[in-house]
Structure 1
Amino acid sequence: MNRRAPPPPDPVMELCGSSPVTCLAFGDVVFAHKKSTFFSGHQNGKILCWNLTSQRVLTQLEAHSETVLWVINPKENILISQGREGLLKVWAADQSNWKLLCTVPTAAFIFCNSSLLSLAKHYMLSVPVEDSGIISVHCLLNDFTLDSEQIPQRLTPAPQREHGMCMKTCSFLLNDQSPRLLVAYEGGSLILWDILLCVALSKLKAHPESIMCLDICATKETGVFRATSGSVDTDLKSWLISEDTLTQDRTVSVTNPGLGSLAYRRDGRIVASGGWDGLCRMFTSAKLRPLVVLSHHKESVQCVAFSEENRLAAGSKDGYITMWDVYVNK
């Protein structure tokens, strides 16, 4: 007798952000003796800092004049945000407010995120710039101010016209010493860059159309990483990065076209996607085997993120954020 699979769970929490949700980040910031562990960026340019215990907004930051593309809390009381108007901003917590430390110009009116990599004595910040398809790499000091003595490196694909503009970036450390950047492009290609040498190490045609989402994680094998990408069609694809070479790993097709967001669970064993159909899907990262489909949002799921406890957060165009306890650490 065949047993039916149990129905997918309901979200354990729903937060209303009032404006379409465009990016999410779990963090650790202290305000007025309360700990907030969650940030949401919105289409109206605001960033909300949430207390997940009370499910209330602690602070609201008027961060950008356009859509917030990317937000990250890399260190206690430091916040970095990127807006579609063409500015990346570094903020420091000042009592119950945020103080602007510095700004970095980025490409305007595109959808590519920036990427931050922590090194021994500084941070490496990779941002898309106005010239089509080019990434500029800046040095942030340990206090998160710009290193004025460092000239930004530029990663320029050739030929530029073939690749189009940057769509997504992911930076990582190979063997704890070699900074790498994986960039997805409008033309559907992926390029693996050596950031220090400004050299393209490996590239391939990943999708027939624009890559809309990308994430990367380490595997159990030393020096081997796995990336997953999605596009406007129904195909979710994974890639292996070994010895500075990109190779295709797996492909799985979902029911409806349009994959807009991806995130690996912290241990790298599960990858979650957000779709234009309003659904969140979870897969095993090794084989892209479907695990569960989470249905709650009425519009496109534009961002997904995992907490350190492996709780999944999903932000939607409908203005709501859901939290899911699916395959969490118990």
Structure 2
Amino acid sequence: MATEAPHLIQSSALPPAQPAYVLRGHTAQIHSVHFLRNNLRLLSGDAEGWVALWDVPIRRPVAVWKAHQDVNLGVGSWGDDKIITHGRDSKLHVWQLRPEDEKDFSTVLPVNDSTTERKQPWLLHSLTLNTLNFCSFAMCPAHPSKTAMGSGEAQEESILVATPGVQDGFINITSLPGEVRVATIPTLKDVNTGMLMAVSILHQAGGLTAIAGYESGHAAVWQQNATSHWQTVYVNKAHSQPVLSLDICTQPSCFFTSSADAVIARHPLPGSKVETKYVQTKHAGQQALAFRSDQKIFATAGWDGRARVYSTQSMKQLAVLKWHKEGCYALAFAEIKEDHQQTNGSDEEGDAMVKRDLTVSQQRMEKAKTTHWLAAGSKDGKISLWDIY
């Protein structure tokens, strides 16, 4: 049963919130989770390189394979048929796994068999990164417009992928499917940043923007100028410990960072009037940070096994989601499309009439598409699914 929002507020009169469901199947700690295909699927990657693709409506795996020989640092999706995995084995893979192909793959989870080879999806691209750190990749469309312009037929939209460079603090940007290195961003001048810990890229007016979080606790924003050189437009040392995660908020235009220390920081993006702000949460080690698709709230995954929910505007803590007994390392929100948000705002009587006309399977699928799921992955190998606010 979905957890109602009031139960998230700490009160001695109310029982603690419980996850709507717990996905069990990994034996190693979960390092990455990602919703895709209108939230009908959830990807999870663990510390032994295993990847599981879960059917969210029925909470069962539909494809399981070993993508890497080391920690799976990050997972993502490219369209409806391509999955990206990034491992600490210095490889970034792009796999083709179409919805109609799912029936051909093993559904045996690592907890039941972690030694037998599984069929892998078709490997479209494999990039050698030549670096050994814990920073996951970031991606964005190669062009500001997401619409591929063609002669009547849909064309494959190319993407840009940002990964750590060979030298400490450097960022490489590669275009896919061409596998062409399009940029190398240097580290900060006169600052010993240490390793790159978190990265994001996006298009803004005037060109491509890269955001970096470093081992030194610094956060920086880089922009490409008219001559294609990269310039630092913002630097701030918000943290006394390494940055662990960052995410972009578009309303207002800013980004937030979390760290091994207990600080969450808000930073402005170029052209924004947002002021830099620090919040001392008193909870060290917030490993992952992510915004919900409507930007109203964000959440963190903590080393103390708790996921915490905060208001974007005030940065005040709204809820503590406690279920895991070991540290949480990965976090993801489902992305609700605009048309589904509008549907959610329709009258309750009309919604009830529509639901009566749907089969049980269709109702499950509709719920998966329209629920603001929050997935938290833990060191215990489990993923908790929360239905909040």
TM-score (norm 2): 0.74
Q: Show the counterpart of 2:315.
A: 288
Which structure is richer in relative contact order (CA contacts within 8 A, separation 6 or more)? 2
1:304 equivalent to 2:331? Answer yes
Deviations 1:249-297 (A, max 9, x none): 241413x321111110011110101111001100001111110101000
Q: Show the counterpart of 1:21.
A: 30
CA contact (8 A) 1:24 1:315 kept: yes
- Report the alpha carbon displacement of residue 231 of structure 1 after superposing the two structures with TM: 1.4
**Residue type matched to 1:271 in 2?**
F
Q: Look at both structures and tell me which one has the larger radius of gyration over its CA atoms.
A: 2
Distance 1:264 1:310 in 2: 11
- Report the alpha carbon displacement of residue 6 of structure 1 after superposing the two structures with TM: 4.0
- Report the alpha carbon displacement of residue 244 of structure 1 after superposing the two structures with TM: 7.1
**Residue type matched to 1:280 in 2?**
A
- Report the alpha carbon displacement of residue 5 of structure 1 after superposing the two structures with TM: 7.0
**Residue type matched to 1:126 in 2?**
A
Q: Show the counterpart of 1:207.
A: 239
SS of 2:192's equivalent in the other structure is: helix
CA contact (8 A) 1:283 1:290 kept: yes
Compared CA separation, residues 82 and 300, structure 1 to 2 (3 A): same
Q: Show the counterpart of 2:91.
A: 87
Distance 2:190 2:199 in 1: 16
SS of 1:163's equivalent in the other structure is: coil
CA contact (8 A) 2:246 2:288 kept: yes
1:61 pairs with one of 42, 56, 65: 65
- Report the alpha carbon displacement of residue 160 of structure 1 after superposing the two structures with TM: 7.2
Which runs of no fewer than 5 residues in structure 2 stay unpaired?
1-10, 106-120, 149-157, 336-370
Compared CA separation, residues 230 and 53, structure 1 to 2 (3 A): same
SS of 1:19's equivalent in the other structure is: coil
**Residue type matched to 1:52 in 2?**
V
1:253 pairs with one of 274, 278, 281: 281
Q: Which has the higher helix share?
A: 2
Structure 1 residues 90-105: aligned runs within 5 Å = 90-93=94-97, 95=101, 96=104, 98-105=121-128
1:134 pairs with one of 146, 151, 170: 170
- Report the alpha carbon displacement of residue 74 of structure 1 after superposing the two structures with TM: 2.4
- Report the alpha carbon displacement of residue 18 of structure 1 after superposing the two structures with TM: 2.4
- Report the alpha carbon displacement of residue 54 of structure 1 after superposing the two structures with TM: 2.2
- Report the alpha carbon displacement of residue 242 of structure 1 after superposing the two structures with TM: 3.8
Distance 2:270 2:196 in 1: 23
Distance 2:134 2:165 in 1: 12
Which stretch shows the higher mean deviation, 117-126 or 59-68? 117-126
Structure 1 residues 1-330: aligned runs within 5 Å = 6-16=14-24, 17-28=26-37, 36-93=40-97, 95=101, 96=104, 98-118=121-141, 119=143, 120=145, 122-140=158-176, 145-147=177-179, 150-159=180-189, 162-175=192-205, 178-195=207-224, 196-220=228-252, 225-243=253-271, 247-254=275-282, 256-308=283-335, 309-327=371-389
SS of 1:162's equivalent in the other structure is: coil
CA contact (8 A) 2:162 2:200 kept: no
CA contact (8 A) 1:27 1:37 kept: yes
Distance 1:38 1:160 in 2: 42
**Residue type matched to 1:186 in 2?**
E
Please report the RMSD computed on the Cα atoms of aligned residues, expressed in angstroms.
2.2
Which runs of no fewer than 5 residues in structure 1 stay unpaired?
30-34
Distance 1:206 1:245 in 2: 18
Distance 1:244 1:163 in 2: 25
Distance 2:274 2:212 in 1: 12
CA contact (8 A) 2:172 2:181 kept: no
Deviations 1:193-216 (A, max 9, x none): 114532222212121121112111
Compared CA separation, residues 193 and 75, structure 1 to 2 (3 A): same
CA contact (8 A) 1:105 1:129 kept: no
- Report the alpha carbon displacement of residue 164 of structure 1 after superposing the two structures with TM: 0.9
Distance 1:320 1:155 in 2: 36
Distance 1:73 1:266 in 2: 16
- Report the alpha carbon displacement of residue 226 of structure 1 after superposing the two structures with TM: 2.0
CA contact (8 A) 1:192 1:246 kept: no
Compared CA separation, residues 297 and 4, structure 1 to 2 (3 A): closer
TM-score (norm 1): 0.87
CA contact (8 A) 1:279 1:301 kept: yes
Q: Show the counterpart of 2:112.
A: none
- Report the alpha carbon displacement of residue 229 of structure 1 after superposing the two structures with TM: 1.2
Deviations 1:149-187 (A, max 9, x none): x44310002337611110001122224x62211100011
Q: Which has the higher strand share?
A: 1
